[in-house]
């Protein structure tokens, strides 16, 4: 039952073939069994989840079906205001949200059952380590490795069958990176479509909310409920012009990841897509420098008072990121915002020659979880980690990561599909067509 798709679970509950209470209890039992070894949930709302499930069953029995999420258990990254809300930081270890985030309210309105709060990198940035206040979430495909972040718990919960869907946040890739490393789907919608009201910010001008799920259809259902819109994912990709900007990733990508992505591109062509070679007028280093300079400046501004008053309570990496942000001149922030316009214009130009772009989500396999704080030099470096996700946050378009293979070590690899702002349906349709043509999404790390 725990590996049913969200869509299947919703249909079975609506048809009263399964009771929401039965489904919720099954997931709560599984969470109780696996959470100690996977570190997925910071908080589990067992009692309220069962009450919500019972209410859903009653409403459905009376013929009042709210929609595909009615009675379906989901969870939230611990950045959303909802009960105990810590952002993965000792600074907020005792914080309890007074008012729930708008997106939480939206999911309640859709009838979803809220299982609990999920692990995160501290304030959605610093890499989780074994020395943190909260123990790190483990990658279910290799428990010594990171599940990717910052929405660590969301990736693991979905991959390990501990939720049918999860809400993460994405400032530079924090929904798509754990999706890629955990072998699930992560969707960053067009900027501004989903509410961030009641979500603890990292960098206000780049932050997005986004769903993680085990299929493109499931992620689309969560998005539809949150954005109050309907998407049409059928229809395939016959004739769709798919842009391939190899120059953007070729020099920095792990060979196993590159091989899986090239195979995925061939699969897209076999499914009817027309491939178009694209040259982007900027490099991955340009994108990462721009993303980080904006993020560090905005995060430093947001946390300045807390850093003065509670500095030692922040984890070391995040504390040093904030201090670095305080060292940046205002002109660097202004130039980074202007560089963002250059990047946005370049992507816009590229997307005149094609409808979507494809590339690896991240050009590396999941890292081992470090024993202690990572040196900041690993993050701020002229040769930074090959993370190809910042791009969509900078230009604001829709982007989704979908599983496209496994490494020789058995670690998942993600393919990223990106489109123009507002082209969420087209991006998801392309990902759904790829998913339907391959079998990568059907694998699970734990029986």
Please, what is the minimum distance in Å from the beta carbon of residue 392 to other proteins? 17
Please, what is the minimum distance in Å from the beta carbon of residue 390 to other proteins? 13
Three-class SS string for the chain? CCCCCHHHHHHHHHCCCCCHHHHHHHHHHHHHHHHHHHCCEEEECHHHHHHHHHHHHHHHHCCCCCCCCCCCEEEEECCECCCECCCCCHHHCCCECCCCCHHHHHHHHCCCEEEEEECCCECCCECCCCCCCCCCCCECCECCECCCCCCHHHHHHHHCCCCCEEEEECCCCCCHHHHHHHCCEEEECCCCCCCCCCECCCCCCCCCEEEEECCHHHHHHHHHHHHCCCCCCCCCCCCCEEEECHHHHCCCCCHHHHHHHHHHHHHHHHCCCEEEECCCCCCHHHHHHHHHHHHHHHHHHHHHHHHHHHHHHCCHHHHHHHHHHHHCCHHHHHHHHHHHHHHHHHHHHHCCCCCEEEEECECCCCCECCCCCCCHHHCCCCCCCCECCHHHHHHCCCEEEEEEEECCCCCEEEEEEEECCCCHHHHHHHHHHHHHHCCHHHCCCCC
Active site residue 150: yes
Q: Which residue in the set 270, 377, 408, 447 belongs to the binding site for other proteins (CB under 8 A)? A: 377
Please, what is the minimum distance in Å from the beta carbon of residue 64 to other proteins? 51
Site string for other proteins, 148-167 (x = CB under 8 A): --------------------
Q: Are strands 412-419 and 356-360 parallel, antiparallel or unpaired?
A: antiparallel
> Taking CB under 8 A as the criterion, which residues in 75-94 touch other proteins?
none
Report which of 60, 78, 215 is spatially closest to residue 151, judged by C-alpha positions: 78
Please, what is the minimum distance in Å from the beta carbon of residue 324 to other proteins? 6
> Taking CB under 8 A as the criterion, which residues in 5-44 touch other proteins?
none
With respect to other proteins, which residue has the nearer C-beta, 33 or 341?
341
With respect to other proteins, which residue has the nearer C-beta, 352 or 382?
382
Residue 345 interacting with other proteins (CB under 8 A)? yes
With respect to other proteins, which residue has the nearer C-beta, 327 or 352?
327
Site string for other proteins, 206-245 (x = CB under 8 A): ----------------------------------------
Q: Which residue in the set 338, 348, 368, 409 belongs to the binding site for other proteins (CB under 8 A)? A: 338
Active site residue 188: no
d(CA 188, CA 399): 5
For the beta carbon of residue 417, count every other beta carbon within 10 angstroms.
29
Contacts with other proteins by CB under 8 A: the residue count is 37
Span from 226-234, 375-383, 386-394, 407-415 in contact with other proteins (CB under 8 A): 375-383
Span from 22-30, 143-151, 204-212, 342-350 in contact with other proteins (CB under 8 A): 342-350
With respect to other proteins, which residue has the nearer C-beta, 319 or 420?
319
Please, what is the minimum distance in Å from the beta carbon of residue 306 to other proteins? 11
Residue 391 interacting with other proteins (CB under 8 A)? no
Q: Which residue in the set 368, 375, 410, 442 belongs to the binding site for other proteins (CB under 8 A)? A: 375
> Taking CB under 8 A as the criterion, which residues in 278-337 touch other proteins?
282, 285-286, 289-290, 292-293, 304, 307-308, 311, 316, 319-320, 323-324, 326-329, 331-332, 334-336
Instruction: Dig out the tokens for 29 from the structure.
Output: 């039992």
Please, what is the minimum distance in Å from the beta carbon of residue 232 to other proteins? 36
Residue 343 interacting with other proteins (CB under 8 A)? yes
Active site residue 77: yes
Catalytic one among 89, 146, 150, 297? 150
CA atoms within 13 A on the CB side of 136: 28
- Cβ 77 vs Cβ 153: under 8 Å: yes
Residue 385 interacting with other proteins (CB under 8 A)? no
With respect to other proteins, which residue has the nearer C-beta, 99 or 338?
338
Find the distance separating the first CA and the last CA of the chain, reported in whole Å: 11
Catalytic one among 146, 174, 215, 441? 174
d(CA 81, CA 78): 8
With respect to other proteins, which residue has the nearer C-beta, 259 or 380?
380
With respect to other proteins, which residue has the nearer C-beta, 229 or 304?
304
With respect to other proteins, which residue has the nearer C-beta, 195 or 324?
324
- Cβ 110 vs Cβ 21: under 8 Å: no
Residue 341 interacting with other proteins (CB under 8 A)? yes
State the catalytic residues: 77, 150, 174
**Interface contacts to other proteins, rule CB under 8 A:** 282, 285-286, 289-290, 292-293, 304, 307-308, 311, 316, 319-320, 323-324, 326-329, 331-332, 334-336, 338-339, 341-343, 345, 375-377, 380-382
């Amino acid at each position: 039952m725990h590996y049913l798709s969200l869509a299947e679970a919703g249909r079975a509950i609506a048809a009263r073939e399964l009771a929401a209470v039965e489904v919720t209890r099954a997931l709560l039992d599984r969470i109780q069994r696996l959470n100690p070894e996977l570190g997925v949930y910071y908080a589990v709302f067992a009692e309220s989840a069962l009450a919500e499930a019972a209410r859903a069953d009653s409403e459905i029995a009376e013929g009042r079906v709210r929609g595909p999420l009615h009675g379906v258990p989901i969870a939230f990254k611990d950045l959303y205001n909802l009960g105990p809300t810590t952002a993965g930081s000792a600074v907020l270890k005792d914080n309890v949200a007074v008012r729930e985030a708008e997106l939480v309210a939206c999911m309640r309105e859709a009838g979803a059952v809220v299982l609990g709060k999920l692990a995160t990198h501290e304030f959605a940035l610093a890499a989780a380590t074994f020395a943190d206040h909260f123990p790190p979430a483990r990658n279910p495909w290799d428990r010594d490795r990171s599940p990717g972040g910052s929405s660590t718990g969301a990736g693991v919960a979905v991959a390990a069958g501990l939720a049918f869907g999860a809400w993460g946040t994405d400032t530079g890739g924090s929904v798509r990176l754990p999706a890629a490393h955990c072998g699930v789907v992560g969707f960053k919608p067009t900027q501004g479509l989903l509410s961030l009201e009641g979500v603890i910010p990292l960098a206000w001008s780049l932050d997005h909310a986004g769903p993680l799920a085990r299929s493109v259809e499931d992620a689309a259902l969560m998005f539809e409920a949150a954005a109050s819109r309907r998407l049409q994912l059928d229809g395939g990709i016959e004739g769709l012009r798919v842009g391939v900007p190899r120059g953007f990733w070729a020099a920095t990508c792990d060979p196993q990841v590159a091989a899986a992505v090239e195979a995925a591109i061939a699969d897209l062509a076999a499914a009817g897509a027309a491939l178009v070679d694209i040259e982007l007028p900027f490099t991955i280093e340009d994108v990462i420098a721009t993303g980080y300079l904006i993020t560090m400046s905005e995060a430093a501004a947001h946390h300045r008072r807390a850093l003065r008053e509670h500095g030692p309570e922040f984890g070391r990496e995040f504390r040093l990121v904030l201090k670095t942000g305080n060292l940046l001149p205002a002109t660097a922030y202004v130039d980074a915002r202007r560089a963002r316009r250059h990047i946005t214009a370049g992507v816009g130009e590229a997307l005149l020659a094609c409808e979507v772009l494809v590339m690896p989500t991240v050009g590396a396999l999941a890292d081992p979880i470090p024993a202690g704080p990572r040196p900041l030099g690993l993050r701020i470096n002229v040769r930074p980690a090959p993370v190809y996700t910042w791009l969509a946050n900078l230009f604001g378009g829709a982007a989704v990561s979908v599983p496209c293979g496994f490494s020789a070590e058995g670690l998942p690899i993600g393919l990223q599909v990106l489109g123009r702002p507002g082209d969420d349906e087209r991006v998801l349709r392309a990902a759904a067509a790829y998913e339907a043509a391959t079998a990568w999404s059907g694998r699970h790390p734990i029986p």
